[in-house]
Amino acid sequence: VRVRGATGEAVAVSARAAPREHAITARGARLAWRQWGEDHEYPVLALHGWLDNAASFDALGPLLVGHRLIALDLPGHGLSDQRGPHGSYNIWDDLPDLVWLTAELGLVRYALLGHSRGAAIATLLAAIEPDAVSSLVLLDGMLTPMFREEDTVAQLRQFAHDYGRRRSRGPRVFTGVEEAVAARCAATGIDPRAAAMLVPRSLEPVPGGWRWRTDGRLRHASALKLTRGNVRNVLEALQLPALQFRAAQGLVARPLDQECSGWLRALAVEEIAGCHHCHMLGQAPAIAARMQDFWRTCGQG
69-119: per-residue pLDDT in tens? Answer: 999 999 999 999 999 999 999 999 999 999 999 999 999 999 999 999 999
pLDDT at 8: 42
pLDDT at 260: 86
- DSSP for 269-285 reads EEEEEEETTGGGTTTHH
Burial 89-119 (b: 16+ CB within 10 A, else e): bebbbbbebbeebbeebebeebbbbbbbbbb
Q: Active site residue: 80, 116, 134, 222, which one?
A: 116
Give the C-alpha separation, 124 to 95, whole Å: 8
CA atoms within 13 A on the CB side of 218: 20
Q: Extract the residue ranges of the chain whose pLDDT is less than 70.
A: 1-15, 253-257, 301
Give the C-alpha separation, 156 to 154, whole Å: 6
CA atoms within 13 A on the CB side of 227: 7
Please tell me the pTM assigned to this model.
0.93
Which amino acid would we find at residue 46?
A: A
88 included as an active-site residue: no
Which amino acid would we find at residue 194?
A: A
99 and 126 Cβ atoms separated by less than 8 Å: no
228-237 helix and 117-128 helix, angle to the nearest 10 degrees: 60
